[in-house]
Amino acid sequence: MITTCRLVPERCIACGLCAVYAPDIFDYDEAGIVLFKEEPEANKQFVRVEEITAVKKAAAKCPVRAILLEKEKVR
């Protein structure tokens, strides 16, 4: 199984917690809305094994659930 992270920008309230807990993964647009640091245009990306702890923490701390983690089966 692999883990993917999906962003729901319309839920984001620009609180900044995701960047506190996973600064290498998350960034913000000019309005303060969450986006992926490496792929700003993407709304979903794979989570590397070495990043999983930080991404899980950021998702757990997001007060509006704008960061969703999903498990997918590898075929």
The pLDDT tens digits for 19-32 are 999 999 999 999 99
Q: What does the alpha-carbon distance between residue 41 and residue 4 come to, in Å, rounded to a whole number?
A: 16
Q: What does the alpha-carbon distance between residue 9 and residue 65 come to, in Å, rounded to a whole number?
A: 10
Query: pTM for this structure?
Result: 0.89
**For the domain that residue 19 is a member of, what is the CATH number?**
3.30.70.20
Q: What does the alpha-carbon distance between residue 75 and residue 62 come to, in Å, rounded to a whole number?
A: 31
If one counts the domains in the chain, the total is: 1
Domain span at 63: 2-72
With contact defined as beta carbons under 8 Å apart, do 10 and 20 qualify? no
What pLDDT digit, counting tens, does each position of 37-74 carry? Answer: 999 999 999 999 999 999 999 999 999 999 999 998 87
Q: Residue 75 is encoded by which pair of tokens?
A: 């075929």
With contact defined as beta carbons under 8 Å apart, do 22 and 54 qualify? yes
